[in-house]
């Protein structure tokens, strides 16, 4: 078991990639803390030894309260997977102020809130931790709505800065970069878009959430003990990061 007794916080754990990551990590021995706006869905992934919390990660106070709860229950945080993300299908000129703020608030600001809380917990306990920020090949390809692409590119920059600053403290920070993945978010796009996306993947299919989960497991485990500040693309060859 590569994550035995590791206290692991997974955001957006109620569905899609987050659900697959939480389940695999639990199977690998982690004490999973599943954060999601849908706490019932998160509960299914946390397992009997874990914890599910209803949290809007765009709310700084809610994030801090959630991590306080984690510390009260488990005493430490070993791993954070910043997976939660949202998007919408909007032409650039049609993006409203409210939509822009909502996507930025969850995908980038929310990830920052969670990473900050996790780092503070790790520093307080002297934990050799691992943080994974989930980006997207859209960050470099520009294939997607502007607000979504901007947040995913921002996460790459956040990772690099955090990795350099935190490496001396034994906290590793990497970016997981999925390509097109068969998740509820992807299922909401027009069928012709999906067909075009698949045509652009040399391996001829979208990733499944489990493909992404296995890559996340590597980054979270001691197998990646000398890996930090990197972008790990899991995309079937659809883009080179």
Catalytic residue set: 148
From the list 207, 208, 178, 216, the residue with the least C-alpha distance to 80 is: 216
Strands (E), the chain: 7-11, 31-36, 51-54, 79-82, 130-134, 172-178, 231-234
Radius of gyration of the chain (CA): 17
Beta-bridged to residue 134, according to DSSP, are 176
CB atoms within 10 A of CB 68: 12
Cβ neighbours for 104, distance < 8 A, ≥ 6 positions apart = 147, 150, 151
Contact 230, 175 (CB under 8 A): yes
Tokens encoding 180: 């097109």
């Amino acid at each position: 078991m590569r994550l035995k007794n590791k206290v692991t916080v997974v955001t957006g754990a109620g569905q899609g990639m987050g659900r697959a990551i939480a389940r695999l990590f639990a199977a690998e021995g982690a004490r999973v803390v599943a954060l999601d706006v849908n706490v019932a869905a998160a509960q299914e992934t946390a397992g009997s030894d874990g914890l599910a919390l209803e949290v809007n990660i765009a709310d700084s106070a809610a994030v801090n309260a959630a991590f306080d709860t984690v510390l009260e229950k488990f005493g430490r945080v070993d791993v954070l997977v910043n997976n939660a993300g949202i998007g919408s299908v909007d032409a650039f000129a049609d993006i409203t102020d409210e939509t822009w703020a909502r996507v930025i608030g969850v995908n980038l600001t929310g990830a920052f809130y969670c990473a900050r809380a996790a780092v503070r917990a790790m520093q307080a306990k002297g934990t050799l931790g691992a943080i994974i920020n989930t980006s997207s090949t859209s960050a470099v390809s520009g294939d997607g709505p502007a607000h979504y692409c901007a947040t995913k590119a921002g996460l790459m920059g956040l990772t690099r800065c955090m990795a350099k600053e935190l490496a001396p403290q034994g906290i590793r920070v990497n970016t997981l970069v999925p390509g097109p993945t068969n998740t509820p978010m992807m299922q909401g796009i027009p069928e012709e878009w999906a067909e075009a996306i698949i045509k652009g993947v040399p391996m001829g299919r979208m990733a499944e959430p489990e493909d992404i989960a296995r890559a996340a497991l590597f980054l979270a485990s001691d197998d990646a003990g000398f890996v930090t500040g990197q972008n790990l693309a899991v995309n079937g060859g659809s883009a080179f990061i």
